[in-house]
Amino acid sequence: MTEKIEAPVHSDRNHGFTAADATHLADQVQQLKPSPWTRSMFRLYGVMLCAYFCACLNGFDGSVMGGLNAMSSYQDYFHMKTASASTGLVFAIYGIGTISATPFVGPTNDYLGRRAGMFAGSIIVIVGAVVVGASTSKGMFLAGRYVLGFGVAFCNVSAPVYVGEMAHPVWRGVLMGVYNSFWSVGSITASWVVYGSHNLGGNGWRIPLYCQLISAGIVAVFVWLLPESPRWLVAQGRNETARSVLARYHGEGDPEHPLVRLQMAEMEHQISTEASDKKWWDYHELWNDRPSRRRLLCVVTMAVFAQWCGNSVVNYYMPVMLENAGITSEDTKLMLNAIFPVISFLAALIGARMMDLLGRRQLLMSSLAFCIVCFGVVTPTSKFSSENPSNSNMANTTVAFIYLFSISYSFGWAPLSPMYIVECLETSTRAKGKAFAQLLTAASATTI
């Protein structure tokens, strides 16, 4: 248990709370040594786990199509090829669905709350999963992919914002870093389900598509058991409810805990100063002054670079890249595709732990540098491998650097890409800013 420190300051429930009081509370918080193994922290981990499944369902889709693209039964049913215009459209329509959802995501989070956003997204994903799983034509399959992209947009905005606002301040970096690491959990599940079903033939390709229901179903069932984000509650004027949430998950049940009082004071001051935006259609607060424009620049950079540094190409076209490297066996391609996210997940977990030790910027820059080097090697070696199939050394080098790229990306960009955006934005612009980032991410992935 964390030792309670008595605070002889004005209550932050009163208007008399001053900057000196806040400074005094901050000094007290610095003296605290909270443990990550208390009962309230384990309750918080359970809350976070439900939100993490939103990243899981996104990761599942990111890998399930890459794996299906290498399955002959899927290709034969829809008359697809591993690399063709039709295949590109199947991948792109998902991003188009995500882009279409952007105008609705921010208002849902601002007016109805973060939980409502996660719930809406999971329900839409369930509908999309049923449609793609039951598809009997290419048009029906494309429609299902569009619905999936539309639903995932809600989850991709609501969940990281919720995690950032619910995370314990002492371990916020780690808890937020683990969020996007769960993308790899979904990816691992999808890759191994695809590998396990590829020998079934017939309609075996439908099994991975129906498995998309699992993560979405977990979120839909359990999300209303979660507490609402305390920052959203304060923005709605429900300060006492927010205090209760913070006390339960950050203050060992004590509403007068220094950490609870300090967070309440900070949120009340910030939100009263920012004047939370109530116009659902108005995004001008993202760029109406110089600090906002600087934040927006960070958001744009993170959203675009996260896709254009090569991650989308590897996730969706892994079988194609392996084929270019001279690996033509369907079983081998699917096995390598299944091992790929396991390594990514381990690297992402290490990166999540290191971000508070190394700092956000240093981790991002070093990760990007290694990604550039790896792709710089993969490009020529894959070309030489396809032209000289008998040269196994080139093929092995290509595969090795594809995996090294994944490790580099997962170590830095995977845990940080959603977290950095959330941390850059103010409370009043967080949902709309994250929705705008999601728009840019989807647009960048679609162009690829």
Residue numbers of the domain that contains 57: 35-447
257 within a domain of the structure (yes/no): yes
**Average pLDDT score, the chain:** 85
The Cα 312–Cα 317 span in angstroms is 8
- Residue among 194, 226, 266, 217 at smallest CA distance from 22: 266
Cα–Cα distance, 90 to 70 (Å, whole number): 14
- Report whether pLDDT(27) > 70: no
Cβ 430 vs Cβ 86: under 8 Å? no
Give the integer Cα–Cα distance in Å for 26 and 426: 20
pLDDT for 52 equals 95
Does 408 map to a domain?
A: yes
By CB atoms closer than 10 A (0-12, 13-18, 19+), residue 287 is middle
Q: Evaluate whether residue 186 is within a structural domain.
A: yes
Residue 202 lies in a domain: yes
At residue 162, φ and ψ (nearest 5 deg) are -60, -45
Of the candidates 426, 153, 143, 396, the one whose C-alpha atom is nearest the C-alpha of residue 296 is 426
Task: Give residue-wise pLDDT tens across range 86-112.
Answer: 778 888 899 899 999 988 998 899 889
327: left (phi over 0), alpha (psi -120 to 50) or beta: beta
pLDDT tens string 250-284: 988 999 988 899 899 888 888 877 654 456 556 77
Phi (first) and psi of residue 405, to 5 degrees: -60, -45
Q: 233 lies in a domain?
A: yes
The 10s digit of each residue's pLDDT in 206-246 is 999 999 999 999 999 999 999 999 999 998 999 999 999 99
Q: Whole-angstrom Cα distance, residue 347 to residue 351?
A: 6
What is the model's pLDDT at position 434?
A: 86
In total, how many domains does the chain have?
1
Range in 29-33, 404-408, 429-433 with the lowest mean pLDDT: 29-33
pLDDT at 166: 95
Distances (CA, A) of 151 to 94, 124, 321: 10, 5, 29
pLDDT greater than 60 at residue 3: no
Could you tell me if 438 and 446 are in contact, meaning their C-beta atoms sit under 8 angstroms apart?
no
- Only one residue has tokens 């000196």, namely 20
Residue 2 pLDDT greater than 60, yes or no? no
CATH of the domain at 61: 1.20.1250.20
Q: Give the number of other CB atoms < 10 A from CB of residue 217.
A: 17
Query: For residue 25, is it within any domain?
Result: no
Asked if the structure places residue 23 within a domain, the reply is no
Tens digit of each residue's pLDDT (9 = 90 or more) over 125-144: 999 999 999 999 999 999 99
Single out the residue of 237, 231, 258, 252 nearest to residue 165, CA to CA. Answer: 231
pLDDT number for residue 51: 95
Residue 24 forms part of a structural domain: no
